[in-house]
Amino acid sequence: MKNKRICKLTSALLMMAMIASMLLFPGIPAQCATAGLTKLNADKVYTNLDLTGDGKKDRFKIQRTKEKAKGHFRRFEISVNGKKAYTYTCIYQNVYTHLNPTLISLSNGKKFLFISCRNGDTHRSITTDVLQYKDDKFEPVIDFDEYCKRHCCTWKAWPKSVKDNKVNFGVSMEISKTKGYYTGDIVMQFVYKGGTLKQNDSAAHVDQDTAKFIIGIDTWTYLKPDATNTCYKLLAGDMVLADQCRISPKTMYLRVRRGNVKAWMLLKDGVIGKTLYKKDLEK
């Protein structure tokens, strides 16, 4: 009998403590936001993700539309809580075989969706976008195709890491349409500003495993990445090592070293069309 009274008294005290804590600290969140990447699958329904950012779990799905050919798709549709939020259809006669969605979560609780469509060759990007959910719709906020299509013929991009409210994306570019050589890999950083993700700086990290090149044609280098003051001329067949990159939707420069002299090289069709990937040099 005495034990029952003690149990009832303990339960009452615990309940009073819980009520008091709720009244005294009403603004404490239930769970802190965790920054990171979550790989998703197409044609699967997710019910444990907060896509809208309201703290509630949403019903989320990416549905692909199959073509007659096995493993080929032309269209996909994203739905959130039963409502269509985004639709993509391949232009012209293109189809895709690979769809790679990844959920990007920032420390501030904001979410973004990375979508990449490729066809066959792992570097042949049909579309590579980062989407943001706003007003019941997903809208593109980063278009990697705009960054890459002026500098190479095929490419791929992928989210590498998230730290606080910054996201690092890897970008790999394929140059020759016939030989399949690569420029190598770079890392671009985007940061949350003004309610969305924006390029932190035009500077991009160059992967040193893919930074050694043979120049395809004669080309001038520059003192700065602005194509104004020339430095020295690179000749076809020269071997250089890249250590820095500046990339925007319109231009891409590599800082290259010939001997101990560093200068900036503007990437364009004539120069990069015959550039060799480091692994080819080791054969």
pLDDT in tens, 81-102: 999 999 999 886 688 888 999 9
Question: Exposed e or buried b for every residue in 54-80, given b needs 16+ CB within 10 A?
Answer: eeeebebbbebeeeeeeebbbebebbb
pLDDT of residue 59: 94
Q: What number is the average pLDDT over the span 123-130?
A: 80
Q: Which residues pair with 83 in a beta bridge?
A: 80
At 174, is the pLDDT very low, low, confident or very high (cuts 50, 70, 90)? low
pLDDT of residue 92: 66
Q: What number is the average pLDDT over the span 181-190?
A: 73
Write out pLDDT tens, residues 191-201: 999 999 999 88
At 267, is the pLDDT very low, low, confident or very high (cuts 50, 70, 90)? confident
Q: How many angstroms separate the most distant Cα atoms in the chain?
A: 97
Lowest mean pLDDT among 58-62, 175-179, 236-240: 175-179
Contact between residue 99 and residue 117 where contact means Cβ atoms under 8 Å apart: yes
Q: What number is the average pLDDT over the span 202-227?
A: 81
pLDDT of residue 27: 35
pTM for the whole structure: 0.77
Q: Which two tokens stand for residue 41?
A: 């699958």
pLDDT of residue 214: 72
| Separation between Cα atoms, residue 132 and residue 111, nearest integer Å | 7
Pick from 14-23, 165-174, 204-213 the range whose average pLDDT is largest: 165-174
- Enclosing H/E stretch for 6: helix 2-24
| Separation between Cα atoms, residue 133 and residue 221, nearest integer Å | 42
Q: What is the DSSP string of 229-273?
A: SEEEEE-TT-EEEEEEEEE-SS-EEEEEEETTEEEEEE--HHHHT
Write out pLDDT tens, residues 27-48: 333 333 578 999 999 999 999 9
Contact between residue 36 and residue 23 where contact means Cβ atoms under 8 Å apart: no
| Separation between Cα atoms, residue 61 and residue 105, nearest integer Å | 17
Nearest in space to 140 (alpha carbons), one of 159, 104, 112, 168: 112
Contact between residue 125 and residue 154 where contact means Cβ atoms under 8 Å apart: yes
Write out pLDDT tens, residues 227-250: 899 999 988 778 778 888 898 888
Structural domain boundaries of the chain?
Answer: 36-201, 212-281
| Separation between Cα atoms, residue 223 and residue 251, nearest integer Å | 16
| Separation between Cα atoms, residue 121 and residue 98, nearest integer Å | 10
pLDDT of residue 102: 95
High-pLDDT (> 70) share of the chain, %: 73
212-281 under CATH 3.40.50.2300, yes or no: no
At 269, is the pLDDT very low, low, confident or very high (cuts 50, 70, 90)? low
CB atoms within 10 A of CB 152: 23
pLDDT of residue 138: 95
- Enclosing H/E stretch for 219: strand 219-222
CB atoms within 10 A of CB 6: 9
